[in-house]
Amino acid sequence: MRDRVLILSVLIVASCGLGYELISSALASYLLGDSILQFSSVIGCYLFAMGIGSWLSKYVRDEDVLNRFIDVELLVALLGGVSAAVLFLVFAWLSAPFRAALYVGVFIIGLMVGMEIPLVMRVFNQRKAEFREIVSRVLTFDYLGALAVSLVFPLLLAPKLGLLRTSFLFGILNASVALWTTWLFRAEVSRPGEKAVRAGVVLGILGLGFVYSGSMTAWAEKGLYGDDIIHAETTQYQRLAVTRWHDDLRLYINGNLQFSSRDEHRYHESLVHPGLQVLPWARNVLVLGGGDGLAVREILKYKNIEHVTLVDLDPAMTNLFSRSDPLVALNAGALKDPRVTVINDDAGRWLETHAEVYDFIVVDFPDPSNFGLGRLYSVPVYHLMARHLAENGYMVVQSTSPYFAPRSFWSVDATLKEAGLNTWPYHTYVPSFGDWGFILASKRRDYAPPEKITVPTRYLDAVTVRELFHFPADMPALAMPPNRLNEQSLVRYFDEDWRKVIR
């Protein structure tokens, strides 16, 4: 019975150990961007600390192995359980030391986790098990636990519980292991009553954290965004937050501002009308990204449009902007219009599996801040988009800022050209973002800005549209290489360009 419980403990310990690693990596990716860098650095630091922990475990005396295992479990439970909450609060209220707190926390937790398996193996050894049996059983369940959490974390825990609550849950499991180990081996451990009380205190702290993690998240995000949060959720793909300050609604994805209701009309009118206005014959439109429905709102102003297909990865995003009254008012109910079909799928995968041709394509992806998004700005994906574009149609791509991120902007232009399209770059000023850029592309060689705007607009008119295509002397065109899938130089340009702005 005791051996079976120890094996179950190994399964839980392994699951929790990997869980803390995934939580720290995901939280760093949400808050800092560049998921590959964050996951790589956190995993590297964590594994290095585990190696040191394994080495340190040899200094635990044989007669103290069981006691130290229980102590380590309680320490891992407490530190790992509160780690996500502490990191989130540090980022929201004390952003300067966040990286230091991240890696110090990861190192300490990794150090403790690294001691767990060697100590369990020594417990088995003291029970006269054969060495090959110890290694086989412990490592088998160690790897099984890692497999289980690697599947459950992205599919269930992160989207349903959120990172903070998931962290507290793993802590509760670690503390439970310490508690039942104390009870089962009460005749062999020193001061079992004291250990049981400590385990109960840790469980109480983590239980309270689990219950009130929503309040902690709201408080942290209040510090992060400054405004009242009217909606926040962690989905399978991202963290969504909508804030309100007086009449200003703002959407944040993973902490990054996506729009402000006070000036989003400048962005979305500039995104849609320079291209669609010169296509009076257009009937069928494709929107990639843009799950907020604001680009669709502008498209539906044209009476000639018969159908709009919106492809956005996250169903939580499109559901939010289809059901929330203030957000539906903002997009004028665009996502519920009978002319609109909403599809929740990866844009690249969807383009590969469908063959329909569109008169106008709007590409409104988030900025290429990581390799997952950078893939959508690559030559192969633009080739796919070109296959879906009518011979006389136009495609428009949001392309970051030509002022703040000029290498990124002109790399997108070069990538579209590499995909066989002709391009017409332009830009506009959006107060929330500064100078922002777009690129119109087509298989056809001709384009002239429309002489008038025939639909209601708040910002654009015939004069303004022509000015969009003029770049001043301090925003010259740059000769940049295209963004190829195997190297994704655009992601590096984007990171380096914006780092200069932040400094």
7 and 51 housed in the same domain: yes
Which residue shows structure tokens 């018969």?
306
Cα-to-chain-centroid distance, residue 162: 12
Q: Give every CB contact of residue 257 below 8 A, 6+ residues apart in sequence.
A: 250, 251, 432, 433
| pLDDT computed for residue 63 by the predictor | 83
d(CA 42, CA 491): 20
Q: Are residues 210 and 240 in the same domain?
A: no
pLDDT digits (tens, 9 = 90+) for 263-300: 999 999 999 999 999 999 999 999 999 999 999 999 99
Would you state the pLDDT for residue 356? Answer: 93
Per-residue pLDDT of the chain (503 residues; tens, 9 = 90+): 666 777 777 788 888 888 999 999 888 877 776 677 788 899 999 999 999 999 999 998 888 888 998 999 999 999 999 998 888 888 877 756 888 889 999 999 999 988 888 888 887 776 665 667 666 777 787 788 888 888 888 888 887 888 889 999 999 999 998 998 898 888 888 898 999 999 999 999 999 999 988 888 777 776 666 677 888 887 878 888 899 888 899 998 877 889 999 999 999 999 999 999 999 999 999 999 999 999 999 999 999 999 999 999 999 999 999 999 999 999 999 999 999 999 999 998 999 999 899 999 999 998 988 788 888 999 999 999 999 999 999 999 999 999 999 999 999 999 999 999 999 999 999 999 899 999 999 999 999 999 999 999 999 999 999 999 999 999 999 999 999 988 889 988 998 888 777 65
Count the domains in the chain.
Answer: 3
* 366-423 confidence digits (pLDDT tens): 898 878 888 899 999 999 999 999 999 999 999 999 999 999 999 999 999 999 999 9
457: left (phi over 0), alpha (psi -120 to 50) or beta: beta
Q: Among residues 221, 246, 279, which one ends one of the domains?
A: 221
- Residue 464: give the domain boundaries: 263-502
Residues 326 and 215 in one domain: no
Residue 312 is which amino acid? D
Same domain, 11 and 157: yes
According to DSSP, residue 233 is labeled: E
Is residue 83 located within the same domain as residue 228? no
C-alpha triplet 279, 281, 286: angle, nearest 5°:
70
Judge if 17 and 156 occupy the same domain.
yes
Residue 71 and residue 174 share a domain? yes
Same domain membership, residue 267 and residue 251: no
Give the residue from 168, 199, 221 where a domain finishes. Answer: 221
Q: Do 278 and 367 sit in the same domain of this protein?
A: yes
Active site residue 248: no
Nearest to 386, CA basis, from 419, 422, 424: 419
pTM: 0.74
Query: Is there a single domain that holds both residue 145 and residue 275?
Result: no
**455 φ, ψ (degrees, to nearest 5):** -115, 160
Q: Given this model, what pLDDT does residue 465 score?
A: 95
- In this structure, the answer to whether residues 492 and 409 fall within a common structural domain is yes
333: left (phi over 0), alpha (psi -120 to 50) or beta: left
Pull the structure tokens for residue 80: 């790992």
CATH number at residue 121: 1.20.1250
Do 277 and 382 share a domain, yes or no?
Answer: yes
Catalytic residue among 359, 364, 367, 497: 364
